[in-house]
Structure 1
């Protein structure tokens, strides 16, 4: 019997993730963009990025075998895990039994679920996002209702995507994703991870981006921000007078704001695109 540490009783920790994967015969699916992190200390560091999680409701997308899920549960969070790959259900069910009432598994496509309903109207998102849906999910969470239903987003991306999210005007990485993310929120790269942190190792390095919601200027429609940035950066080497001519009223708006139409999209600040969208909205 354990419970008397003075007598030298040794308690075993959680079963290693590698053993859980082997016991359930699990393998990462390349088609679903799956890569697993097995290092529990690293997973604990990722789960700690948002801060105090005790009693928080957290949406996790693509939990896989449950490594990050366990780290969140150990920090006191209530986790709603959305997983479309049914192979992981038995492993996640074992984890749910270990943390009664703290883990809910939702089998389905994260692009089709009602996240706000799942988290009870308000919560955080922490996820090692599958690479093939990460950007689409981020755009969805940034361009729907505002203020948003999420308190913060802690998301794993390919390093290249993470750098695009936080890029500043004038840099090669600056583009549509930079503007849409920074228009409504304050993103930062919270952690970088090498390829060797994953099983199987992906072809590129990864990074965790922490995103906190901010204020949104009145009178700016998300659809207009998206349309402007799509036109401007769809032909980023062209001058604005050429790239924005497909957007009705855009050239007149440039003139009203005193923006030289011979400039290129990457030279405009986020505030410039917001001002353009405001006039056109």
Structure 2
């Protein structure tokens, strides 16, 4: 046991916490696994940790037991609050719980830097939260690192390299501003109820500045247009971007006949600069 609190199966039974599909819930009940996820986030001793969707608190307990200075947990499901209150009582002054939707709550007033985000994200909001955390108005963001569980397919899209089927907007958005790697794979049977897919934990460490210079909005538009028609050659997929897109592609070191999945981040950034300079 990682602490003196009861096993999670007992917690779930005591509070009648059946996982709900509407909340995207799949509970991870093995406290050894939740402690491994907490450790994958690195040294938490001097950091506040933001956790989204703690459910019955398995990962919350792992974060506190491995030394997080303080945890802020945002939970939409009111049924989970009594179980989280028991953890709060066991770790006085180190856990704060906010009931509500993580997409609608600004956590910054409740956190003191340095801040790490560690979450077994609900499947139905995971990608949207990642995109928000990766695209703030100002960079660097409020967080130092993200350690997040996703469906395995999403995790593979985050770390994908050019030339692979999984490579696309998500990989480029993350690679531009951060280092990302998969640190843990979890089979469906690790969860209650077991999801239909495997899961994976991704650890993302921010860079202080983006890897290559580019205007964030222009880069996003270039990448979005390129991958919206990923089977087309770029001169066709991007023709709405600029009347002389072929020349801009060539000056950026990109063959106009290439397809989006063949192009690396540095070339996309070069193209975004060329588009901005030739408006």
Same fold (TM over 0.5): yes
The aligned residue for residue 101 of structure 1 is 93
Structure 2 length-normalised TM: 0.92
Q: For 1:1-281, what aligned pairs fall within 5 Å after superposition?
A: 13-77=4-68, 78-144=70-136, 145-214=138-207, 215-216=209-210, 220-248=214-242, 251=245, 252-281=247-276
After superposition, the CA RMSD in angstroms is: 1.6
In structure 1, distance between residues paired with 2:235 and 2:118:
41
Deviations 1:176-223 (A, max 9, x none): 101001011010000101011111100100000000011315752222
Contact 1:116–1:122 (CA under 8 A) maintained in structure 2:
no
Q: What is the alpha-carbon distance in structure 2 between the residues aligned to residue 211 and residue 250 of structure 1?
A: 37
C-alpha distance in structure 2 between counterparts of 1:60 and 1:278, whole Å: 36
Helix, strand or coil: the match of 2:74?
A: strand
Pairwise CA distance, 1:258: 3.1
> Gaps spanning 5+ residues in structure 1: where?
1-11
| C-alpha separation in 2, matches of 1:54 and 1:154 | 16
Gap change, CA 1:92 and 1:171, over 3 Å in 2? same
Cα separation, 2, equivalents of 1:276 and 1:148:
25
For structure 2, the residue ranges without an aligned partner over 5 or more in a row are none
Contact 1:131 1:157 survives alignment (8 Å): yes
TM normalised by structure 1 equals 0.92
> How many Å separate the matches in 2 of 1:48 and 1:217?
27
User: Measured at CA, do residues 271 and 258 of structure 1 come closer, stay the same or move farther in structure 2, by a change above 3 Å?
Assistant: closer
**C-alpha distance in 2, partners of 1:220/1:116?**
27
